[in-house]
Homo-oligomer: A and B are copies of this chain.
């Protein structure tokens, strides 16, 4: 019985990590990652997400090493697919972890197509696409229709300029100049509002507003993956910018408390947009000798102290 089971191939689970913040993983994806023993990951997946792989299994009692393994997905899509299929045939489920939403990335689609030609079963666990979540975090309501495109590859500019609703574009700063001029050339007004968001959904998120005419100047300094939102919806941003407009947004705040106490304060700081830096600088310890304590209490009772000052919850 156990031999039969061992020879039955595992499945390949293609998991989307979402836009960045590990809390934006789906519950399904989080459970799959925790139960995984072997995952192949892309370099752009957030470290907080890869840290969740195999948490159900803990560490090896002898070596202290995690039991689950996370390896980089190396090579062309066909090679990655071959590796995944070979591992699944060994009898274990294999996780393929990709950033964003799996079937919106051409190389991931190529991998899945190659896997689908084999007998090994696979599943797609969609991730929150940055095209919808990043505008939400930047205070822009896309509404019931929009068009998205990745302008880092080939683009049908005339179709894109003719498309309805707001445009959501994936780009880097190197693509801003061409994007703006091509859209204007194909009929959009140079005054069309546009917003560029970097580090979307994380506490490093930053949004710069511009128009197509000023897009390149406004975004040329931004590093990394950008989400560019184009259309009227950008001009309503000031009303709805709930994430970046919080009172302490982006502030790093030192939380010098004991380890046990920091959680509560940090949670409250996070609510207001700050980035708490917990530093356990204070320790609460029993007095080294009973005499110390007795002297203090005696002083209180004798009336030797005129003041007792409570400086914090530790006092």
Contacts and interface: CB of A to CB of B under 8 A. Distances in A.
B164 A160 contact: yes
Contact of A132 (B31, B104, B149, B242): B104
Chain A binding site: helix, strand, loop or mixed by DSSP? Answer: mixed
Given A149-B145, A163-B159, A239-B116, A26 B31 contact: no
Q: Output the residue of A117, A121, A136, A170 with the most chain B CB within 10 A.
A: A136
A147 interface: yes
A101 interface: yes
Contact of A144 (B25, B30, B153): B153
A112 B137 CA distance: 13
A185 interface: no
A202 to B, nearest CB: 13
A126 interface: yes
Of the four ranges (under 10, 10 to 19, 20 to 34, 35 or more), the interface on chain A belongs to 35 or more
Given A27-B24, A136-B103, A164-B163, A112 B141 contact: yes
A150 to B, nearest CB: 4
Nearest to A102: B136
A264 interface: no
B122 A242 contact: yes
Interface string A132-168: 1101110011111111111001011001101111000
B27 A143 contact: no
A28 interface: yes
Interface string A240-258: 1011001000000000000
B149 A148 contact: no
Nearest to A101: B132
A53 to B, nearest CB: 15
Contact of A26 (B24, B113, B165): B24
A24 B123 CA distance: 14
A185 B10 CA distance: 48
Given A145-B150, A163-B164, 9 more contacts: A22-B27, A104-B143, A116-B242, A123-B243, A144-B150, A144-B153, A149-B164, A156-B164, A160-B164
